[in-house]
Structure 1
Amino acid sequence: MTDFLPFALPDLGEEEIAEVLHSLRSGWLTTGPKAKRFEEEFAEFIGTGVEAIAVNSATAGLHLALEAAGIGPGDEVISTPYTFTSTSEVVRYLNADPVFVDIDPVTFNLDPERIEAAITPRTKAIVPVHFAGLACDMARILEIAQRHGLKVIEDAAHALPTTCGGQLVGSLGSDATVYSFYATKTITTGEGGMVVTRDAEMARRCRVMRLHGISRDAFDRYTSTKPAWHYEVVAPGCKYNMTDIAASIGIHQLKKAWRFQKRRCEMAARYDEAFADLPVTLPPKPHGADIHAWHLYVLRLADAAPVDRDRFIELMSGKGIGCSVHFIPLHLHPYWSDRYALKPDSFPIALDSYRRAVSLPLFTKMTDADQQRVIDATRSILAC
């Protein structure tokens, strides 16, 4: 029987394993020197004088960034329904309300042309999501935000490394950018995330709030050469810090980020060539010379396809290949639809894209033979 090819697997080497073992043997397991080093190297990777704050998930990072931006009860935050629920659930943590705007029909990203119509006196921020690793139209979004006095917090869970206008996402002038290092992402720490900002006050607030609202990091207190047992709780914070064990993985994953991106780009190009004659819409490409992180490779099945999306996934599974769907739009989930009286056709482009979309396996541990299996299976189902 052919082995099952999963939708995604992390790509870990002996370097990550050795670094984790070093942390275990050092006795410093929680936030410590490795987390600090990962932050410093990540900030250097972005390369624009930013500060980086390591956290235990991108969800935590989005929560901290929005809180540091002053989002609170009664405020509105404009974002997309075409994302995972964490993008908007963090808005609710702060007793604010997400306001959804439909996506661009080509890119899957938040449509800038629809943002201004959604702005009200309660609007305080915009959260664009760089879907699949393709940058949003950040120049337009930032221009709108500046004109209306709004904060911009980028959800870059898919977007490392991604560029927009020749600059890395994270260096584009938004108030903060948040990355994910979940097991399926372009680099991983197992669970983890990073907040990046140029705003020193936002960075300070995120650091305080990620660890119970305590005014000093545990690492700083426990490594001081003088007695440093005293601390102050200055706010009702959270428990969002990254462990040194997780950071040990991230340190070496970050060194591989450009190599991983190059491999993902090569695989995406191979898929494009193989599927060009099928009844599908291929994933959108970056503008000009910009870089796509290719976290996901998403096909949209055309009306002429011999099967619908759900049947396609079933048939692929029968051939031993795992696929996924990114995403079930938020307005189709009971919590969001009930709370905000949303209907399936409230966002027709997101709805149509979802009904057609399937994410094929795309991860750097895949061999050429693995990818050929996916190509052959896809063609056997969709070739008319």
Structure 2
Amino acid sequence: MRKILVVGAGQSGLQLALGLQSHGYEVTLMSNRTADEIRTGRVMSTQCMFHTALQHERDLQLNFWESQAPRIEGLGVSVAAPGSFDPGPSQRAIDWVGRLDGYAQSVDQRVKMAGWMETFAQRGGQLVIHGAAVSDLDYFARTYDLVLVSAGKGELVSMFGRDASRSPYTQPQRALAVAYVHGLGPRPEHPEFDAVRCNLVPGVGELFVMPTYTLSGRADILFWEGIPGGPLDVFQGVKDPAEHLSLTLELMERFTPWEYARATKVELTDAGGTLSGRYTPTVRTPVGRLPGGGLVLGVADVVVANDPITGQGSNSAAKCAASYLDSILGHGDKEFDEAWMRATFERYWDTAQHVTKWTNAMLGPPPEHVLNLIGAAGELQPAADRFANGFDDPADFENFFYEPEKTGAYLASVAGG
């Protein structure tokens, strides 16, 4: 029986550990926190998983909360009219919602990771609660057939060098601020179904609102992405959750009053329901070399970390875990050497490159043809639907998003139809 060590108990690490376990591998999972510590801690992310990523969970029968989490059937875009918020509240220049072919869902990672970790242990997996250092992996690499590193922060990431050819940014492109709330009203444009709402404020940043399932049931996530140094970049140093929520709502009232109108009675879900920070989008080389000569393979955020502006983090983690699982199963009893590690990553990169390209494009000012596309989607429902479903399959953006000629031809074909 092949022995595999997975370091890191997030979406990718746990999904991979549980998948390998189900195929008879002897799996050890290392986490720096217990399930109870995760469950009672601070929120770790925003997450909205679309159909393909959810299907990977279903394939492994890990969709424990599917009947409880809200079914997200649409994705809407609102764009504030440039300058309309100065001096008063902003107005919408664009507002539409696209319908998803398969519903999306969001489950608070405190709920999911704690539940999955307990399941892994109940199924006989070896769970080690320890914040692993490079020196630990140097020792473990000698006793396992394969070591996978899925802990996307801390010392371990330093083993994986930045791939400059795939990483255009050297600084964070957004300041991030998250609040999980109860009491948000429905969007009056579509009270009969749930949708993720993407609110773009040109030159300022973005507000994302997404339904979720948390420790106390149905909730919503209010997520600001602010251009560094701008009016949304005010959350650094804010430790008090109530102050964090107050700031979130003040900014909504000024920049997205149509969202603030349904948020006047919100309350934080719990004392750990806020999060803020920033990080630089980075693609790293996939193979880490240990001091003793052993090799480890980076997983998901360790090797491809995108800004959350396109909501792809948990989706990419699930897709990476599924791709790596297939590569491991297909490798049989052969050695997990450096050539296999690099080939395994490149297979995943075939999918991940589309996420990185799209995300990096969305972080910059949109070119005229993209503005035309987003504007036209308000009049052409097929365009709104296609844009929305690109969140599930970002590869499709190659066909109608990046090049003015393809965008123009697509809009002409839709308008003609």
TM over 0.5: no
TM-score by length of 2: 0.28
Identify the structure with the greater strand proportion: 2
TM-score by length of 1: 0.30
